[in-house]
Amino acid sequence: MHLRTPLHRTRGSSHGPITRLVSPSDLGQVLKPFIFLDRFEAPAGGQPPQFGMHPHSGIATLTYLIHGQAGYEDTTGEDGARGTLPTGGVEWMMAGGGVWHTGSPINTERVLGFQLWVAMPPKLELATAHSIYLGPERVPQVGPARVLLGSYGGQTSPIPAPSDMTYLGVHLKAGQTWRFEPPRGHTVAWVAVGEGALTAPTALTTGELVAFDASGSAITFEAQTDTAFVLGSGVQHPHDLFMGPYSVHTSAETLRQGQAGIRERAQLLRQQGRL
């Protein structure tokens, strides 16, 4: 039986409560369509990460709260959206041709979570921006795995995946074993540990990310302690990445158009006194 080989391992770079594990200019080139990943954590009463109102284009962001709550606001639709994301909740922000959003964890309790960026195919990278916010009760579950994006084990997330990919939030108790069988054709696979210790079969601990080889074989996880981690699996994004501040596109021209869309929305925000 083939054991999935870890090809890349990182603890990223930390700045206060945020640890950047993947960027489009480094591991994102290997793991695309998963091109960016931040882990964020702050204790109750501590200084939560502050993101401020900021733009995106050409990508989608998915934020998963393992613990805690976070306020959110975005510029989608006529009046935008705002509210509070609870523990176990998911925020999907498809930036398309330009959007602005912000989020701020509420520090009355411990906050822990991940923010992922997903590369869009050409047909979606300049589409109209939209957002989806799911409470934990709307996130499908297969055993210990919560289906945050895509499909797994006969369950499909309410968030439409932009390409063939699966993104799971997995919670295991100490001593529990779980086997991940990648969907057919998925050669990209990685795991990042939110908290705890496990083997896959290599040892992994809190804050660590491992990217696996492109064999498409299954991965068996065994929890050494109670643990929570996220796992990405998919068909590799076939396009080059053209990057600007907060934007990733498939060509120089679509990057130009996306950044123009960001500037247009910034002007409207200034008129409204929101920027």
- What DSSP letter does each residue of 213-261 carry, written as one string? -TT---EEEEESSSEEEEEEEEPPP-S--EEETTEEESSHHHHHHHHHH
Question: Which pLDDT value is given to residue 1?
Answer: 52
Task: For residues 87 and 135, give the distance between their C-alpha atoms in angstroms, rounded to a whole number.
Answer: 8
Task: For residues 129 and 100, give the distance between their C-alpha atoms in angstroms, rounded to a whole number.
Answer: 10
Residues 6+ apart with CB under 8 A from 91: 61, 62, 63, 70, 72, 85, 103, 131, 132, 133, 134
Question: Which pLDDT value is given to residue 152?
Answer: 97
For tokens 């695309």, name the residue: 32
- Domain extents for the chain? 6-272
The backbone torsions φ and ψ at residue 123, rounded to the nearest 5 degrees and listed phi first, read: -70, -15
Residues 6+ apart with CB under 8 A from 253: none
Question: Which pLDDT value is given to residue 170?
Answer: 98
| Helix count and strand count (H, E) for the chain | 2, 26
Question: Which pLDDT value is given to residue 32?
Answer: 97
| 6-272, CATH topology level | Jelly Rolls (2.60.120)
Q: What is the CA radius of gyration of the chain?
A: 18
Question: Which pLDDT value is given to residue 196?
Answer: 98
Question: Which pLDDT value is given to residue 44?
Answer: 84
Question: Which pLDDT value is given to residue 126?
Answer: 97
Q: Per-block average pLDDT, block size 10, for the chain (275 residues)?
A: 84 93 96 97 78 90 94 80 90 94 81 96 96 96 98 96 97 97 95 97 95 93 98 97 95 97 88 76
